[in-house]
């Protein structure tokens, strides 16, 4: 069974992923993140079909300490964060490689 990507965040953040075919998502409005983001992350962590969780790096600040620790230490699913302070090109590449075990961006001409 293949592992799916899940996206958690504001509707503005998740929409692009949904248009690209990501079927698992949790929309949490910016005004509700302090109250509802923990539950969305915990529910996604418990989903056996999810292999990668994508979040905006700034949203980690809205998580409680225990949930943030759980998601950051989780191996499966693996957390991938995007945003200004998050993974740059190389960092994202390393996170995806860690999550799925292969380098999708490997140069075939090497």
**Under 8 Å CB-to-CB from 105, ≥6 apart: which residues?**
93
Give which of 24, 26, 19, 12 is closest to 83, Cα–Cα: 12
Q: What is the pLDDT of residue 82?
A: 87
pTM for this model (two decimals): 0.76
Helix axis angle, 65-73 relative to 33-45, nearest 10°? Answer: 30
Each residue's pLDDT tens digit in the chain (110 positions)?
568 999 999 999 999 899 989 999 999 999 999 999 999 999 999 999 999 999 998 999 999 999 999 998 998 999 998 876 544 445 666 666 666 666 655 655 44
Q: What is the pLDDT of residue 93?
A: 62
The superfamily in CATH containing domain 4-100 is ATPase, V1 complex, subunit F (3.40.50.10580)
Q: What is the pLDDT of residue 83?
A: 79
């Amino acid at each position: 069974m293949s592992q799916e990507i899940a996206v958690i965040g504001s509707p503005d953040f998740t929409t692009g992923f949904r248009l690209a075919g990501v079927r698992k998502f949790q929309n949490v409005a910016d005004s509700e993140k302090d109250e509802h983001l923990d539950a969305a992350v915990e529910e996604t962590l418990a989903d056996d079909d999810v292999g990668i969780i994508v979040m905006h790096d700034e949203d980690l600040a809205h998580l409680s300490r225990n949930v943030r620790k759980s998601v950051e230490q989780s191996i499966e699913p693996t957390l991938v964060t995007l945003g200004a302070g998050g993974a740059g090109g190389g960092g994202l590449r390393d996170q995806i490689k860690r999550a799925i075990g292969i380098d999708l961006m490997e140069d075939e001409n090497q």
